[in-house]
Structure 1
Amino acid sequence: MTYQTPLAELARHVAERGDQPFLHQPVNRKLIVWTWRQVDDNARRIAQGLLSLGLKPGDRVAIFAKNSAEWFIADWAIMMAGMVSVPIYATAGADTIRHIVEDSGAKAVFVGKLDDLAAGQSVFDGRIPRIGFPYQTIDHDHRWEDWINQHPPLETVADISLNDVMTLVYTSGSTGKPKGVVLKYLQYAAASTTNRELVGMTPEDRGISYLPLAHITERGVVEGTALYTGGPIYFVESLDTFVDDLKVARPTTFLSVPRLWTRFQVGVHEKMPAEKLQKLLKIPLLGKLVARKIRAGLGLNSVHTFGSGSAPIAPTLLQWYHGLGIDICEGWGMSETTGLSACNMPFRADRMGTIGVPLACVEMKIADDGELLIRGDAVFEEYYNNPEATAEAFADGWFRTGDKAEQTANGAFRIIGRLKEEFKTTKGKYVAPVPLESRLSGNPDIEQVCVIGAGRTQPAAVVVLAEHRRNANRDSLSASLRRTLEELNATLESHQKLEGILVAKEPWSIENERLTPTLKLRRSYLEEVYSERLNDVTGGAVIWEN
């Protein structure tokens, strides 16, 4: 397939639909709209601003901010100036930010919307120029609005090629310091083009950007696909306005992560108990009306394609949404594969619980030890400044994903865990935690779960209760959890059976370091936190953390 660079796609849309609305940013409950032509003009002015700082093509420029229209524009401005972008999670701590800035050698940084200013303020202390988006943010040296008003548009943008480096995307660091994934324009173009073709998107499709843009999936599947398709994009002002902003956007495609899909389910159950809902859904005509009302209440009644990624999603949750007419296409990908690389799309009910099949721009296979291998146009070639990690990551031209997988009879791939996450009990046998966690999370009382067992006689589970159930009667909760535990253990081999369940006293979040910025479990830290208390979990008990 022939690919075009992002700047070539931007130029195409400016020529074809220059005065059509493109980016939609709510600010103080008013919608600010940029046309394609205005986006191009603003990006050229910001590119000129970067060059005015004395930066040169190839220099790295960081973006430290939550999603906004300015994030998109800054990304394209960095490309226009021939520089390399370095996204940083807006939730990252000071040590992570410092590591990324030092490792990448960033020469400047865009700062914008942030929930917490402390970490960024401590690292970005003026040693490199700081350009502030027009929101409350950390101290900065240059204002976005000033650059838009003062700098003329860059007349000739950088002559970039598909073989040039576009961005350094740092991994979430769940098993150590984040590594810089070097992505070229080729990989991004392959992913964005293939996503567009896979979904069958047209310029009439509307998207919404709210998952972190520092994560390659949001950048490729949402930002990249919109750019390569030509459809409008909407943003969210805050978590509090999320549903209202969703209703304004009326997206036709919608991507989320398992934890948020679970939270949406919780929101539905808060308004209508699970048993009552299931009874209503089974009634002809009325069931369809109820399902349609729920989709409208979530702001998802215009969506034709739903997706979930970043982590495994419980098949029972997929089936629950399927009953509402929301067919979630589970996908899989990594920073190293430019995001989405396999997906259950077009949706097939018989493939629920799998990641479907590879996208057209890659091929996948399973090694003798069960590791999932991948290669193709969207797969990276090296880690930045880390030849040792690069050498370890490849085998005969195939990228070693670290995921353990199996292939089903209908040709789909199923992820059954991470090779490094498997642990050995004192019985000397290995246990893969992810399939057990997926089964446990089918209980709607459970929002988060981690199975722990390294060095233990039997594994045990630590769970976080669903928000709407945290103040419920403990006896009924214990009965529900014990029932789920017994049903699971009845299907397991003896060395896999769970000793019991510990109910955590607080939810796991990025802020308390239980989750990575991509909402993955920090397993080693969770083991450290709960190891001693798990000694009290015996004989199928359900106990609460003090």
Structure 2
Amino acid sequence: MTEFSTPLEAFLHWERTDPDRVFLKQPINRNYRTYTYGTAGIEARKIATALLDYNLPDKSQVALLSKNCAHWFMADLAIMMAGHVSVPIYPTLNADSIAQILDLSHSRAIIIGKLDDFGLQKPGISDIPIISVGLYGETEGDSWEDLQQKCRPLAEPYEQRTDDLTTLIYTSGTTGRPKGVMHSAGNFMKSAHTLISLVNLPENPRLFSYLPLSHIAERAGLEMRGMVLGAQIYFPESLATFARDLEAAQPHSFGAVPRIMAKFQEKILESLPQKKLDLLLKIPLVNNWIKKKLRKKLGLSDARIIVSGAAPMASSLIRWYRSIGIEINQMYGMTEDCIISHTNVPGADKIGTVGKPLPGVRTKLSPEGEIWLKNDCLMMGYFEAPETTKSVFTEDGFLKTGDIGEYDHDGYLTITGRVKDQFKTDKGKYIVPTPIELDLSKNNYIDQICVVGTGIPQPIALITPSVLAKAKTQEVLEFSLNEILVLVNSSLEKHEKIEKIVVMKEDWNVENGLITPTLKVKRDSIEKLHRPYYKSWFDRKEKVIFE
């Protein structure tokens, strides 16, 4: 593997040495539009020229608002080629949130790509130059396609250095105001090379980009890693075609969040109920055939590593996938450490943990059990927030992760909770909700969970029902939830026992502000909305309450 010092160096290498190599495969109306490293380079160079023609100050912030698509990659390359700093924005954010990030980052221009409803987001964009991609139906400001006709390709892209500020990544934030994490070009390359060292992938591997590119995991783990490897990147066309697009791509590595894998499980069990699946897996000749078929149908037949991160995955779900021949390795990282922290890998995996420290990572636990770590790609700091930056580092330069954990005798790390997620019941007892939520998630009828209990004697669990649950009667669901309640409580200390399960009427989603764009529950928002009802729910006789 060639070692590169910056993302641009990696891309320019493939553009120069293998311009006909396939880079991006964008589905449009069920047909692929293919961009090679050469053609993508020309488009990016022309947009870089357009950005320079705006006469922005050197190293200006340029925002990027788009779902994952070929033009996201080309826009990011164009921003780097022009010597500017990218500010990726989650494509699901509303106008107010977009305006906040543009203001906090001092963005001087914005590139608009593939979106679901830009009309609702447009009021959040101030009077700055806009480039929009007509291929996805956007017509605001300067047209990407027109600029391809008008502009010459930038002959001499900016010479990127390892210590150059390359991006501001605004954390999705389960709490508080978004913070702009600053990462350098060198950070991205150190992260990418570390991840590449974990498993051997074939030359020009296939990757599937669907997790938000505005999030560090997809940005460092897929975009930057892909450019180092000279990968070919596939994208889903829509949510409706996602499964077909993934099956067609058959990527060589795959990243997911627990909720995605739970949804895949639901879909399998809809067509192949658990009892029937168990029976088929017991038949020697059928066992391998059914595993192979399921793996291919999911799009994972060629995947050499499948990782899950962003939130804990229930051990029961990991074991269920193992039963059908799919190994999921839990990984742990964050925006501030450029996702270089801990991971399990094929052949060295311990279910229930997030693995061992990655190469070059040093860790220690605070007296309270908080995980502190150092690596070679820690953030440069929070943008224009020196005091906040100072608060998350120890005097000797370790990052305070905010997560509580413990190591076993083999060196595997288990995350036991978040420092800020702990709450106290009115008995004065502290509750750590994460392990309880993981135990409850063993029930396939539960989609999302938030264990709460401030101001009441015992904690209660707020849940949203899964697709499987919605197909059942209320009586069936109530019986199943009572069962899991008894099971989970049997292993908890007296003060931890869940008093009630409250089934929410509405799902928690990004649109109503109750989960982040990376599908993590926004505990503060859920508490703010439901805390007034805790006591009345607690006082009711039934154990399972339908809101």
Distance 1:347 1:149, change over 3 A: farther
| Residue matched to 2:330 | 330
**Equivalent residue letter for 2:235:** F
Cα separation, 1, equivalents of 2:91 and 2:447: 24
Shift of 1:138: 5.3
| Residue matched to 2:60 | 59
Q: Secondary structure at the match of 2:316?
A: helix
**Cα-to-partner distance string for 1:178-230 (whole Å, 9 max, x where unaligned):** 00001011211110111111122342421000111000100111111110111
| Residue matched to 2:351 | 352
| Larger deviation, residues 466-475 vs 17-26 | 466-475
Matches within 5 A, 1:282-297: 282-297=282-297
Matches within 5 A, 1:80-99: 80-99=81-100
Cα separation, 1, equivalents of 2:444 and 2:340: 28
Mapped contact 1:170–1:181 kept (Cα < 8 A): yes
Q: Secondary structure at the match of 1:345?
A: coil
Cα separation, 2, equivalents of 1:178 and 1:509: 18
Matches within 5 A, 1:365-444: 365-395=364-394, 396-444=396-444
Cα separation, 2, equivalents of 1:541 and 1:115: 42
Cα separation, 2, equivalents of 1:250 and 1:303: 7
Q: Secondary structure at the match of 1:8?
A: helix
Shift of 1:2: 6.8
Q: Secondary structure at the match of 2:294?
A: helix
Mapped contact 1:62–1:109 kept (Cα < 8 A): yes
Cα separation, 1, equivalents of 2:13 and 2:525: 48
**Cα-to-partner distance string for 1:13-49 (whole Å, 9 max, x where unaligned):** 1233221111100111110111111122211111111
Matches within 5 A, 1:62-141: 62-125=63-126, 127-136=127-136, 139-141=139-141
Shift of 1:538: 5.4
**Equivalent residue letter for 1:390:** T
**Cα-to-partner distance string for 1:296-346 (whole Å, 9 max, x where unaligned):** 222222222111111111111011011111101111111111134321013
Cα separation, 2, equivalents of 1:81 and 1:352: 45
Mapped contact 1:3–1:190 kept (Cα < 8 A): no
Shift of 1:494: 0.7
Cα separation, 1, equivalents of 2:120 and 2:399: 34
Shift of 1:418: 0.6
Distance 1:516 1:22, change over 3 A: same
| Residue matched to 1:181 | 181
TM (norm. structure 2) is: 0.96
Mapped contact 2:444–2:468 kept (Cα < 8 A): no
Matches within 5 A, 1:260-275: 260-275=260-275
| Residue matched to 1:523 | 523
**Cα-to-partner distance string for 1:402-432 (whole Å, 9 max, x where unaligned):** 0111112221111111100001111212111
Q: What is the identity percentage for the equivalent residue pairs of Structure 1 and Structure 2?
A: 38
Cα separation, 2, equivalents of 1:478 and 1:79: 54
**Equivalent residue letter for 2:372:** L
Cα separation, 2, equivalents of 1:27 and 1:433: 43
Shift of 1:462: 0.8
Cα separation, 2, equivalents of 1:162 and 1:205: 25
Cα separation, 1, equivalents of 2:214 and 2:492: 39
| Residue matched to 1:450 | 450
**Equivalent residue letter for 1:96:** S
**Equivalent residue letter for 2:24:** L
| Larger deviation, residues 6-15 vs 205-214 | 6-15
TM (norm. structure 1) is: 0.96
Mapped contact 1:191–1:338 kept (Cα < 8 A): yes
**Cα-to-partner distance string for 1:422-459 (whole Å, 9 max, x where unaligned):** 01111212111111001100111111111011222100
Q: Secondary structure at the match of 1:254?
A: strand
| Larger deviation, residues 205-214 vs 519-528 | 519-528
Q: Secondary structure at the match of 1:237?
A: coil
Cα separation, 1, equivalents of 2:9 and 2:447: 43
Mapped contact 2:4–2:10 kept (Cα < 8 A): no
Matches within 5 A, 1:37-56: 37-56=38-57
Cα separation, 1, equivalents of 2:366 and 2:446: 34
**Equivalent residue letter for 1:34:** Y
Matched residues, number: 544
**Equivalent residue letter for 2:419:** L
Distance 1:117 1:403, change over 3 A: same
Cα separation, 2, equivalents of 1:152 and 1:460: 62
Q: Secondary structure at the match of 1:198?
A: coil
| Residue matched to 1:299 | 299
Mapped contact 1:361–1:378 kept (Cα < 8 A): no
| Residue matched to 2:34 | 33
Mapped contact 1:331–1:340 kept (Cα < 8 A): no
Mapped contact 1:533–1:545 kept (Cα < 8 A): no
Q: Secondary structure at the match of 1:403?
A: strand
Cα separation, 2, equivalents of 1:21 and 1:63: 24
**Equivalent residue letter for 1:419:** V
Cα separation, 2, equivalents of 1:274 and 1:372: 38
**Equivalent residue letter for 1:63:** L
Mapped contact 2:462–2:501 kept (Cα < 8 A): yes
Q: Secondary structure at the match of 2:496?
A: coil
Shift of 1:366: 1.5
| Larger deviation, residues 14-23 vs 185-194 | 14-23
Cα separation, 2, equivalents of 1:495 and 1:308: 31
| Residue matched to 1:512 | 512
